[in-house]
Structure 1
Amino acid sequence: MEWKASLLSPQALHSWSLPSANASANTISPCKWYGISCNGLGSVIEISLPSAGLQGKLHNLSFSSFPNLLRLNLSDNTLTGTIPADIGTLSRLVSLNISMNNLSGVLPLSIANLSHLSELDIWSNEITGPIPPSLEVGNLMNLNHLELSDNLLTGSIPSTLGNMTNLMNLQLQRNQISGSIPLEIGNLVNLNGLELASNLLTEVFGVYRHLYFMDVSNNRLFGELSPNWGECKNLTRLQLSGNRITGKIPPEIGS
């Protein structure tokens, strides 16, 4: 209710209301509110409010009040400000989607506490700074989907992302990421898609044998393609346009 009161559009949560003095316990349960799901014990396990017309900030939403929350979806709203550090108290969270908002600032280091997280979607915001140490140290070992595209991220791709062995999709396109694509990404045996288009990348190290799809178009890659790319037997789509690649396409590719 504190968060609702802080929003510029509280009418979007019209079903969230305080009970009257003589209301029964069943009537006051937030489990009946729009976008809220609970377990059998009445504890909130999901907050799902995509495209709900929410305008405001997240700082008055007390994340520590939801110790059993599994899924949080606030995508496609008009949320502003930074991502609060106490989002890291959602220790059981498996899915976090706050994409398509106007969130800014850096990613909080407390994301490292979300050790059960399997899906992290923060794309299409205004997040700045480098990919934080909370991801670099590989604490999110259960993550299989990471999308940070369409932000203002800078710096390099940390090599320790190669520790996230369950990762299946890595999407960092349309940022300002520079440097090389680390060799360690090739350790991700479950990685199907690698999308890094429209950044400032200059080099590709190694061969990513397990990929089905790779998009590194519109970067600053230069030099010749290595014949070792012929070892990528699973690759069905490779996008390299908008770079400074020279020489011939090695015949090993596609053989």
Structure 2
Amino acid sequence: MREVFYYFLLLFSFSFLQTPAQEEAEALLKWKNSLSSHGLTSWSLNSSSSTTTPCNWTGIRCNKIGRIVGINLAKSGLIGTLYQFTFTIHLTSLFTLNTLGLTLFWGFPTQVSQLRLGAIPSEIGNLLNLRVLCLFNNSLVGPIPYQLSNLRQVSHLHLGGNYLENPDPIRFKSMASLTDLNLHYNLLTLEVPPFIFQCSKLIFLDLSYNNFTSMIPVQLFTSLKVLKFLNLTQNQFEGPIPMEIKNLAELQELKLGENRLNGTIPSEIGLQSNLRILELHENPFHGPIPSSIGSLRMLERLNILKAGLNSSIPYELGFCTNLSFLELSQNNLVGPLPPSMASLTRISELGLSSNQISGEIHPFFLSNWTELISLQLHKNNLSGTIPPEIGSLHKLNFLILFQNQLSGSMPWEIGNILNLYELDLSNNHLTGFIPPSIGNLSRLAKLSLMNNQLSGTLPHEMGKLKRLQFLDLSLNKLHGTLPSSITHLENLNSLYVHYNNFSGNIPKDFGPSSLGSVSFSVNNFTGKLPPQICIGGKLVYLTADQNMFDGSIPPSLKNCTGLAPRRPVIQIR
């Protein structure tokens, strides 16, 4: 949430000895004229212009006596350098300068097509009354100049999205007024710059997407006691999470994902009662999810994806009733879903895939999870039937249950999930027929029912799925003819019906212009392949062997120059 702040409050503020307003305007014009590209057409002092005072210029704000106190040039299309922007003798009443979203390159002026990387000029350390310094998303290189630590009044320092390196650890002093520090997406390495530990007023600290390789320094948790937002994502921090994390009583967001942290997740993490976001994903932890996590009653987002966890899901997780995002996939979690998870009535995204979770998907879960947008339980050992209560998930976009041990029939109520975009029930033990209510899913783009024991005919209502791009019905016991309505699937890219008992002719008008892959193999089809099977020229994969097709090869196949045989492609009797 604090990152959004920088899109609206990204500014310098400084105060100097007064200089005439004319000099202020001329200084800005000199800088504007050095830019390679800009949209500052109102910046002019021509007598014929209606904007003879800089107070009427785009992005300029003046005080009551006509002195420039604010410059906001975000999204003004500027390309160039700050080489001719003076930091000392002009614009001394300036309070705000917003440079976010500009393409600014520090260093010597160059042509747009030959932009060079440059360093932060050390002279910026002369702006002793600066309050907010934001140089986000440029191409700045080199060490962060130690002169920045002269800016004793700076509260917000945002240098993210550059190529900056570690500052001099000895010459870079404490910045006692600093409350927000963002250094993400840079080239910082080895250890966390020690000046950070002396910034006792820090509330927001983002060091993500760098190359730190040390252990997480304990000082982050002992010296920065008012910290609310800590982001160390995607570095190479190693070792355990320090137990001293319990000292951060104000912490609201803790992001430690994509590092090399190991050991167990400390139970002390449950003491952060204000925590709203906890991300520990993609670290080589081991052991259980601590039951103390149930104390995080404010928690809204929990991500422990691919973190080496090997336990059951703690019953206490159900106490985190504010959770809207829960991702525990790709671990070694075992046992059934605890009944307490039915209390997660605000959950909108639930990912538990690629574990060893067993037991049934009980109806009371689905009855309470009505806010779900994504339900991903694939690659587990879930058994039992798909409850008809699945139809109560009216907001659901993704229902992914493949590779479990689910049995029984597809519930008719599945056709009530009108917002469904992807439905994957493949690699289970489902029986019975495909319910005609499937035709209600007008937004469905992907449907995979492969490798089940489904029987019966393909419902005519399948042709109502006008947005369908991927359809896999292979490895079932379906029979009868393909309904003529499949010719209405104009957006279909992939169709797989191999290893069934289909018979009769394939509708002769079948041939979506977007078709790239199709397999009719190992059925009892007769007649001819559709003459327009490759009318769109995008087909790269076609199998039709082990059928009883006759006649000539469709002439439209000459359009498919990307079609290369990888196995017997067509067997015509």
Q: State the TM bucket, normalised to the shorter chain.
A: 0.7 to 0.9
| Contact 2:388 2:414 (8 Å CA) reproduced | no
- Counterpart position of 1:9: none
Amino acid at match of 2:254: K
* Alpha-carbon displacement from aligned partner over 1:20-53 (angstroms, at most 9, x marks no partner): 7xx4633xx47437569626xx921111011100
2:406 paired with 1:153? yes
- Helix, strand or coil for the counterpart of 1:68? coil
Matching residue within 314, 318, 326 for 1:59: 314
- Cα distance change on mapping 1:59 and 1:251 into 2, 3 Å: same
Distance 1:30 1:194, change over 3 A: same
Shift of 1:59: 3.2
Q: CA deviation at 1:14?
A: 4.5
CA 1:244 to 1:129, structure 2 compared with 1: closer, same or farther past 3 Å? same
> Distance between the aligned counterparts of 1:111 and 1:14, measured in 2?
37
Is the 2:421–2:446 Cα contact (8 Å) retained in structure 1? yes
Q: How does 1:1-255 map to 2 (within 5 A)?
A: 14-15=240-241, 17=243, 23=247, 25-26=249-250, 29=251, 31-32=253-254, 34=256, 38=276, 43-64=298-319, 66-109=320-363, 110-135=365-390, 138-203=391-456, 204-208=458-462, 209=464, 210=466, 211-254=468-511
Larger radius of gyration: 2
Quote the Cα distance in structure 2 between the aligned partners of 1:250 and 1:61.
55
Q: Percent identity?
A: 32
Provide, for residues 165-197 of structure 1, a one-character-per-residue CA deviation record: whole Å limited to 9, x for no partner.
100100000000011111111011111111000
1:204-233 alpha-carbon deviations (Å, 9 max, x no partner)? 212323222110001011122222322222
Q: CA deviation at 1:250?
A: 1.7
Instruction: Single out whichever of 120-129 and 226-235 deviates more from structure 2.
Output: 226-235
Distance 2:381 2:242 in 1: 29
Structure 1 residues 91, 18: CA separation in 2 closer, same or farther (over 3 Å shift)?
A: farther
Q: What is the TM-score when the length of structure 2 is the normalising length? A: 0.39
Tell whether the 8 Å contact from 1:207 to 1:229 is kept in structure 2 after alignment: no
Question: Whole-Å Cα distance in 1 between the matches of residues 239 and 473 of structure 2?
Answer: 41
Q: Which amino acid aligns with 1:244?
A: N
Confirm or deny: 8 A CA contact 1:84 1:108 kept in the other structure.
no
State how far apart, in whole Å, the 1-side matches of 2:354 and 2:509 are: 40
Whole-Å Cα distance in 2 between the matches of residues 236 and 197 of structure 1? Answer: 17
Report runs of 4+ in structure 1 exceeding 6 Å deviation: none
- Is the CA contact 2:460–2:483 (under 8 Å) kept in the aligned structure 1? no
Q: Which runs of 5+ in 1 are unaligned?
A: 1-11
**For the residues of structure 2 that align with 1:33 and 1:144, how far apart are their CA atoms?**
27
What is the alpha-carbon root mean square deviation over aligned residues? 2.4
CA contact (8 A) 1:106 1:128 kept: yes
Counterpart Cα distance in 2 of 1:45 and 1:151: 28
Q: 2-side partners of 1:206 and 1:17: how far apart?
A: 61
Alpha carbons of 1:232 and 1:68: their partners in 2 closer, same or farther (altered >3 Å)? same
State the 1:248 CA deviation.
Answer: 2.2
Unmatched segments (≥5 aa) in structure 2? 1-237, 258-268, 270-274, 278-296, 512-531, 533-573
Letter in 2 for 1:15: I
Query: Whose RCO is larger (CA < 8 A, sep 6+)?
Result: 1
Count of residues paired in the alignment:
235
Measured in 1, the distance between the counterparts of 2:505 and 2:252 equals: 63
Amino acid at match of 1:127: L
Question: Which stretch shifts more, 156-165 or 109-118?
Answer: 109-118
Distance 2:425 2:413 in 1: 15
Given that residues 111 and 134 in structure 1 are in contact (C-alpha distance below 8 angstroms), is that contact kept between their aligned partners in structure 2? yes
Aligned partners of 1:119 and 1:146 also within 8 Å = yes
CA distance in 1, matches of 2:239, 2:395: 33
Deviation at 1:247, TM superposition (A): 2.1
